[in-house]
Structure 1
Amino acid sequence: MLTFDQPARQLIAAKLKEFPRRPHDAAAAEGLKRAAVAIALLAADDSEGIAFALTRRVGKLRAHSGQWALPGGRCDAGETVVQAALREMDEEIGLKLDESDALGLLDDYPTRSGYLITPVVFWCKPGLTPHANPDEVAAIYRIPIADIAPIEKVSFTRIPESDRRVVRINILGQQIHAPTAALLYQFREVLAGRITRVADLEQPVFAWK
C-alpha cells in the first residue's frame, strides 16, 4: 500500500508523466464547453495511506443534484484547466493549492451534457483538511485509493439508449457512474501501469442532461 509521503508523490507523478495522455480530437470537441475536475490526493482518514476527495452534491442544484462527483466545474474565460480545477476545488471543498501541486493530467472526457472534462491530479499539502461549501456540497469523503484497486470494483453494463458500455465503480457500497467513474477508473489504471482509454465509456441516461 502506498503511504502519504514524498516517495509516493514522486511515484504517482512519474506514472502520470509516463502516461501517454490523449487530448480529445479538436474537431470532435467543437461545441463542447471546457471543464476541469480535481483528483485531490490527501491522507486517508484512518491509516497512513492515500485517499482522494469525493463529494456528494447537494440536492437543490439545478444540474446533477445529489450525484457523486469530483470537485470541479466549467473553465472561466482565460483559465487553463489546472487553474479552473484549483479554483473549483477551493470553492467547493476549501482546499487551497497552487499549480506546483498538480502532478499531471488524464485524458479528456466528453460528456452527454456538452462538456469536455480534463481531470487534474493534485497532491495536497500535509495537514490540509477539506471543508464542504454548503451551497454546493452535501458531504466530502476521503476514499482510499486502495479501495478502488481491486479489478472487481469496476463493472460494465448496457443500456438500450446506447451501443457504448456504461462504466460503474463501486465506492462505499454505491454504484458510481460516469463521468466520475470513468475518470477514477482511468486513474486507477494509470497507478497500476496500464493504459486504458475511457472517452468512449457511456454515462447513464439520468446524467445526459
Structure 2
Amino acid sequence: MNAGRFLSLEGGEGAGKSTQGRALAAALAARGVEAVVTREPGGSDGAESIRALLMQGDAARWSPRAEALLFAAARADHVERVIRPALAAGRWVICDRYLDSSRAYQGLAGRLDDDAILALHAFGSEGLLPDRTFLLALPTEVGAARAAARDGLAADRFAARGSAFHAEVAAAFDRFAAQEPDRFRRIDATLPPAAVTQAMLDSLADWLP
C-alpha cells in the first residue's frame, strides 16, 4: 500500500482554510484519492478538549509559553491518533493549521524562540512535517473583515487580537514560505473559492494520478 500524503493549510484569520480544506478533499475524491480532513488545535478527542481551553476566554488567558505547551500537547495526540494512522493506511491528510501556526502565533508574534517551538514538536510529534503546505495569503485587513463577518461577536482568543499582531503573523508565514520553498506553495486567497481550490490542485499535479 502506498503511503499517504500530508497536506497543511496555513494563513491568517479569514483566509478560508476550513472551506478550502473541504473543497480540496472533494476535488481529490473526484480523482480517486481518499483524504481525511482535520484541524488544529483539535482533530482527536484529547486535542479537541485542549482546543476548548485554548480558544475560549480572554485573549490574555494564557501566556505564549503556556499556549505553546498546550498546542504541542494537542498536536502530539492528534498526530499519534489521527494523522499517522491515516498516512500509514495510504490516505491523504488535509490539516487546517499545523506546526507553522504555532511558530507564527506563539513563536514570532508571541516572541518565543522558534527553536523552542521546534523542540517541543520534535518531542511531542516526533518532528512530523507536512509533505506540502499551502499558504493561503491575503491582506490582513481583508482577512479581518472576512473573520468579522463570519464570527460576529463570537471571535475566538486569536481572531480577537489586534491588527498589529495579525500583521506579525502574516509576516511570519511569509518568512517560513521563503525559507522552505520546497514545502510551501503560496496561494492567492483573494481569488474566487473555486480558483483557490484549482490552484492547490495544480500544485499537487506531480502527485495526482
Shorter-chain TM-score range? under 0.3
- TM-score normalized by structure 1? 0.28
- TM-score normalized by structure 2? 0.28
Larger proportion of helix: 2
Q: Higher relative CO (CA 8 A, sep ≥ 6), structure 1 or 2? A: 2
Larger proportion of strand: 1
